[in-house]
Structure 1
C-alpha cells in the first residue's frame, strides 16, 4: 500500500463545497461585525436595505484593512512562536503515524500563556487600559489581519507540501484538486524546523487571542459605563476557563482528530487564527456596548449550567484520555469495554456508556450558557450556539462514518451497547 494514497472520498462535497465554506465563513465574519456593533446596534439583517448597508460598509476595504493591525498581528503570532522555542518544557510524543514515526511536541502552552498574561499585566501597569481599548476598538481590523495571515499561511504550507523528499500527506487531502486540498490540508504535519504549525496554531495565537479580546472588551465596557456587569463575567469567565483548560490538558490535544488525521490547510488555519477568537468573543464584544444585568437567580442558573456542562465535557474527555493512555490505570481499569478486531477497546461504561458523544453534549451546553449571558434582545449573539450545534453534528457523522469503516461489525455491537448519541436516555 502506498504511503500517500489518492483521496477518494471528499468531505464538504469536494471543491465546490470547500469554496462555499471559505466564502461563507468570511461572509459571516463580515455580516456579524457590520450588523452587530455599537453604531448599527445588533439586529439580524433581513431587509434589502440592511443587506445593502452591510455590503456598502464591507466594500470600503480601506476602513478595515490596516497595515498597523497587520503588523501587530504578525508581532502577536511571532511572540508566541518565540515562546514556543524558548520556554523550557517536557516533550511529549504524538500518536504513531502510518510512516512508523512519532512526532515530538514541547508541552509549554500553559507557561506561554502565563508569560503572556504577565506581559499584559505589565503593559497595563505601565500604560493603563489604553492598549487594550485600542484592541477593542480595532477588533475588526485585527480580525481581517488574521484572515490575511491565515490564508497566506495556508497557501505556503500547501506549496511546501510539494517539496522533494518524503512528505506524509493527510489521507483526506491528496485529491489532486488544488482548491479542495488547499482547503482541507494536503500535508498532515507541516513543520518549520521544530515548529509544528498545526499544533502551534491549534493552541496558541487563537486560543490566547480569544482571552485577550475578552479582557479588552471587559475593559471597554468598564471605560464606557463605569462597571463590568455580571453578564460580562458570565460570558468571559467560562470562556477563559475553557482556554486555560485546553492548555492545561495540552497533551490530550495530541490524540484529537485535528492533530491525528486532519491535514493543515485553510480550514484549520482560518479556524484557529480567525474563527475562534473573532467569532467566539462575540458575546463579550456585544456586552461591551450593550450592557445586560441579570438578577441574582438568573445569573445563578446560568452559572450552574456553565459549571455543570463544563464538568461533563472535562470529566468525559479526561476519562477517555486516561483509558487510551493506560487502560490498566486504577482510575479507569474498572470500566467495561468491547475488544475489537483492530486491537482497540471501545468503552461501554462510565461516561462513555451514557452516550457515544457525551463530550459533545457538555461542550454544546457550555457554549449555550455563554450565549444566555447576553440576554434575549438579539438572536445574533446566539450564533455560536447554532453554529456549534451544526459543527458538532457534522463531526458526529464524520466520527461515526470513520468508526463504522474501521471497526465494522464491532461498531454495530458498540452501538447496541451504547444506543444514545448525545443525551442519556433521550437521543
Structure 2
C-alpha cells in the first residue's frame, strides 16, 4: 500500500492520510508562476531603486532603468566563487546544526496520529559560536573584518547565489518527495507539478534526522540577515569613522529580533510554516533569499547616506520596538503556557473532541494579537531610517499585507479544523489582529 492510499483517523473520522489538494492558495498555478518569476526580480529592484545617488519614490519613477540594469549586468550578477562562499556558509551552518548540542523537543503530532518529529534546538549554541568567531576576527584583524567587507562588496552576487540555491533546494525536496512514503502537505498535493513545487509537496522533508525545512527557516537566512546588517554598519564605520545613531538602532533592533527568535526557538516548531505548510519554493525562497536581502533594506539605505535625528525621536523608536516585542513575546508565551497546562487562570471554550481555544488574556483581545506586536516592530525598524525617504517604509506595508494574508489563511484552516468551535471563538473574540479595529 502506498502513502497515497493510507488513511488516518482525525477527530474520530477516517480520512486519507494524504488528501488531494482541491483548493489552491495564491490563485493556483498562475499565481504560483507569477510569484516565482517576480519575487527574485523584486530583490534586484531594491538594488536598482535605492542607490547612493537616489532612494526616493520620485527617484525610482525617474530612474534611468537601462543604465541601472547595465550596471547590474556589469557586476556580474552571478559569480561562481561567491556561490561557493554561500554554499560554504549554508553547509557550515548545517554541520553546526547536526553537531552542536541543544535540547531536543518534540513537534506536534502529525496527521498520522502518532508521529512526533524531534528537533535539536541548538540555536543558542549556533549563534554563540558565530558570535565568538566574529568577535575573534574583529580583534584578529584590528577591526578590518575582511569577511564583512566581502559581504558588502558582493551583496548582489550573494543575493543571486541565495536565489539560485532556493530554486535548487525547492527542486530537490519536490523530487525527493516521490522517492519514499511520507506525509504530504494538505496544501501541496494537487498533482500539478508547478503548484506543488511552489507550495511544497512534502510536509517535513528530512535527510536522516536533519530537518531541511526547519533548518532553512531558522538558520541560514535569519543569521545571514544579521551578518549583512553588521556588514552595512561596518561599511559606515570604515567610511565615516563611526556608526551613526540610526544605523546602530536598526542593526541592534533587527539583530535582537534574530537572536531572540533563535533563543526562543521552541515556539518555532509550532508555527504554521512548520506544522502545516509544505516546503517548496515559496518557503525556500522566503527563508534563504527574501529574508536576508529584503529585510536588510533599512541598514543598506543607511549605509549609503547620512541621516540624523534627535535623541527624543530615537527614544520613541526604542519604546515602540519594546512595546511591539512585549506584545509579541508575552502573547506567544501565554499560548505556550496554556498548551502545557501552566495558565489555569485563562478562560477558554472547548468542544466535545477536546479542542480548546483561549478567550481571555492576550488571545481574548485578538485572534492573532502576536501579529500586532510583529507589525509594531516593523514600524520601529522603518522609523529608525528617518523621514527623508519613503523607500525604506515599503517594508512595513509589505509586512502588514503578509500578516493579514497569514491571518486569512489561518482563519480558513482553523474553520476547517475546529468547525462550530471556531464560529463560537470568532463571536467571543471578534478582532483578528488589532483589538477593536481589525
Query: TM over 0.5, yes or no?
Result: yes
Contact 2:163 2:288 in 1 (8 A): yes
Distance 2:324 2:103 in 1: 31
Poorly superposed stretches of 4+, deviation over 6 Å: none
1:309-343 CA-partner distances (Å, limit 9, x unpaired): 1111111111112212x12x1xx110000112442
Pairwise CA distance, 1:55: 3.9
Aligned match for 2:147, one of 118, 131, 138: 131
Contact 1:341 1:407 in 2 (8 A): no
Distance 1:131 1:47 in 2: 35
Secondary structure at the aligned position of 2:349 is classed as strand
What TM-score do the two structures reach when normalised by structure 1?
A: 0.95
Matched, 1:92 2:110: no
Alignment of 1:232-271 (within 5 A): 232-271=247-286
Matched, 1:275 2:290: yes
Distance 1:290 1:48 in 2: 20
Distance 2:372 2:43 in 1: 26
Q: Partner of 1:169 in structure 2?
A: 184
Alignment of 1:259-408 (within 5 A): 259-324=274-339, 326-327=340-341, 329=342, 332-408=343-419
Matched, 1:6 2:20: yes
Aligned match for 1:32, one of 46, 49, 54: 46
User: What CA RMSD, in Å, does the superposition of the two structures yield over aligned residues?
Assistant: 1.5
Contact 1:335 1:350 in 2 (8 A): yes
Distance 1:256 1:46 in 2: 36
Contact 1:83 1:112 in 2 (8 A): yes
Pairwise CA distance, 1:56: 3.7
Distance 2:257 2:353 in 1: 34
Q: How many residue pairs end up in the alignment?
A: 420
Distance 1:170 1:61 in 2: 42
Q: Partner of 1:231 in structure 2?
A: 246
**Which blocks of at least 5 consecutive residues in structure 1 are unaligned?**
none
Q: Which has the larger displacement, 268-277 or 115-124?
A: 115-124
Contact 1:95 1:102 in 2 (8 A): yes
Pairwise CA distance, 1:62: 5.4
**Which blocks of at least 5 consecutive residues in structure 2 are unaligned?**
1-14
Aligned match for 2:56, one of 10, 35, 43: 43
Contact 2:49 2:63 in 1 (8 A): no
Alignment of 1:203-214 (within 5 A): 203-214=218-229
Q: Partner of 1:148 in structure 2?
A: 164
Q: 1:367 to 1:71 in 2, by over 3 A?
A: same
Pairwise CA distance, 1:46: 5.0
Distance 2:417 2:74 in 1: 48
What TM-score do the two structures reach when normalised by structure 2?
A: 0.93
Secondary structure at the aligned position of 1:7 is classed as coil
Contact 1:90 1:106 in 2 (8 A): yes
Contact 1:201 1:269 in 2 (8 A): yes
Matched, 1:108 2:126: no
Secondary structure at the aligned position of 2:31 is classed as helix
